[in-house]
Structure 1
Amino acid sequence: MIRVLVLLVLFLPAKILAESHADIAAQRAGTLFVQGCVHYADNAAGLRVWAGKIGLPALPELGQAGFLKGAVRVTYDASNPARKYVVIGIDDGGCMVLAETVNTGELVPASEVELAGAGIPTALDGDPADVGTDGMRHRTYHAAQGQRGWAIVIGHSPDMPDQVLLSDNAR
């Protein structure tokens, strides 16, 4: 069964950050996604062990309630002093990473670098427009490492430069 792993990066209104700060935010979001969500695709127990090993505390129940209502999940606080990040591990093997502010233009290359650094080569399939939306595009990749494979989609819109959806399906 295909499990969907999602990295949804939401940009909230904030003062303009220096270019190096945008690079760091995108790199952190990509790192959390690759090391957590991609590595532990279809392995919710493994994701929980990983979160504990790197010191990500679970949010209190009140904080958990704000994410994926109805899904059986654990939401971890992966924030650093500069930004808020959460990693959401869903019991069915799905995973999400949310970030408070990340530059859309930096996230795509940062995610590609993180995947390559993990030994997961990607091949770009295309960047087609989603007919049912206003300008939403889906940058689609295929990736493989050994016997594992993923279909990765980065959803982005020029009209909404502050929102990115990065998902992968374990194949």
Structure 2
Amino acid sequence: MIYPVVVYGHPVLRKVADEIKQDYENLNEIIANMWETMYHSDGIGLAAPQIGKSIRLFVIDADPLKDEFPELEGMKKVFINAQIELLESKEVTESEGCLSLPTIREEVKRPSKIRIKYVDENFELKDEVYEGFAARVIQHEYDHIEGTLFVDYLNPLKKRLLKGKLTKISKGDVKVSYRIKTAK
């Protein structure tokens, strides 16, 4: 099942998501539907708040970007109850976009190296370190379960310049190839 993608302005995108247990109802089905939704929407990551569920779950398949960022080869993972433990102090600026902020791409500064602890879809504990664009993709999706959007990292002037676009997105006045869900 392909979910509609929740867009800017919906309150679920601003909530800190709840941890989940292994017996969370229909978890495997939700994960399968998230993959389907992400691929249908041409994304490389999708967090549960983006489908209206305030739970600490996100999926990433960044393999399509491996030609440009070799560290992404084979990077297809499910992250449950993730916690970023360590952030490298060196920051790198790269362009980011988001399915919940369609038509907006901006330069965002993020730490270049992270350590993340999480459980996978089998609830096996993982403790991994990522660098480069892999770290960026994980941080972007992690932000969704923390109630943060990439536009929150922009300077006040840039945010003011985007206000009109953000208002249109929040009203559903945006052309995309996937179904969206607004706050109303």
Structure 2 length-normalised TM: 0.32
**More helix per residue:** 2
**More strand per residue:** 1
Structure 1 length-normalised TM: 0.34
